Amino acid sequence: MTTVLITGINGFTGCYLAEELRSAGYSLVGLSSTETIQNASSVNYVCNLLDHEKLIDILTEVKPDVVVHLAAVAFVAHGDVEAIYHTNVVGTRNLLDAIIKSQHIPRSVLLASSANIYGNALIEPIDEKASAAPANDYAVSKLSMEYMARLWLDRLPITVVRPFNYTGAGQSLNFLIPKIVDHFKRRAPILELGNLDVVRDFSDVRSVTQCYRLLIESRTQGEVFNVCSGQGHSLLDVLQMMREISGHHPEIKVNPAFVRANEVHRLVGSSAKLDAVIGKVPVIPLKNTLQWMFSHRL
């Protein structure tokens, strides 16, 4: 069996990717910064990405055929800027160096960046040739990670993915869509939001993880791929869908504390390059994803 090491396996994306790969017959090894419960279908290690020596020990022991690097500070408004850069840049560098020092080169190393690196792009849909214009520390950290990873391209089969916004059942309420769905679930009378005029390319996490699996199997290297639906939805669209799903009509208020001065107003991607490599993965309509999230019980 092909062994895949997933960093951040306990995270939102990691859980869904583990299920996607497990269903496809892969053997899984998880890396997490918090305690995990070992089970029959995966072996889990607790290790902070900043612990370079422990990373080397784990990679030397596991000798994975594939590494998928998801672990990151992934919340744009995360308050600890130092943690964003340490985890997303230094932590990734530690991982790549540990792979080399383990003296076992995987056949694929997939690094998760972010479409946030594009900022307020002047073209739409945004393809991989668009100029980077990061508008927050999270985006800068992801772009810095990409540049750092280029130093390893002659030694490791690295593929970088730039996922646009995606969501699904189980995502933290820190994120916008789960927050909105939660308010409708609770039938809260008032919903306070920030910028209402933003447009995003929302995907379903299950589609995103399917794309990751197919990229692993395509054995690409040295390439960057957008992962997106190619469809833009405004926040007002999302609110209307939730009204239709729930039958609830809360009062919508703009809270100035939630308005970001450097907000990226439109972020809609092109998946043409990815489609040419893995084929067209069917897009799950956003309303279907919202219905799944609304009906989901923990």
* Residue 278: CATH number of its domain: 3.40.50.720
Q: Please pick, among 138, 147, 166, 212, the residue that the annotation labels catalytic.
A: 138
> Which residues of the chain are modeled with pLDDT < 50?
38-40
Domain that holds residue 51: 3-167+203-228+268-282
Tell me, what's the pLDDT at 263?
A: 75
Reported pTM? 0.95
Instruction: State yes or no: is 138 an active-site residue.
Output: yes
Q: In this structure, is residue 245 part of a structural domain?
A: no
Q: Give dist(CA 22, CA 135) in Å, integer.
A: 36
Instruction: Determine the residue type at 57.
Output: D
Number of separate domains in the chain: 1
Would you state the pLDDT for residue 36? 61
Per the domain annotation, does 31 fall within a domain?
yes
3 - beta bridge partners?
27
Instruction: Give pLDDT tens digits for 15-38.
Output: 999 999 999 999 999 999 887 654
SS3 at position 23: helix
Residue 211 lies in a domain: yes
pLDDT of residue 264: 79
- Distance (Å, whole) CA 278 – CA 98: 29
Return the structure tokens found at 76.
């744009």
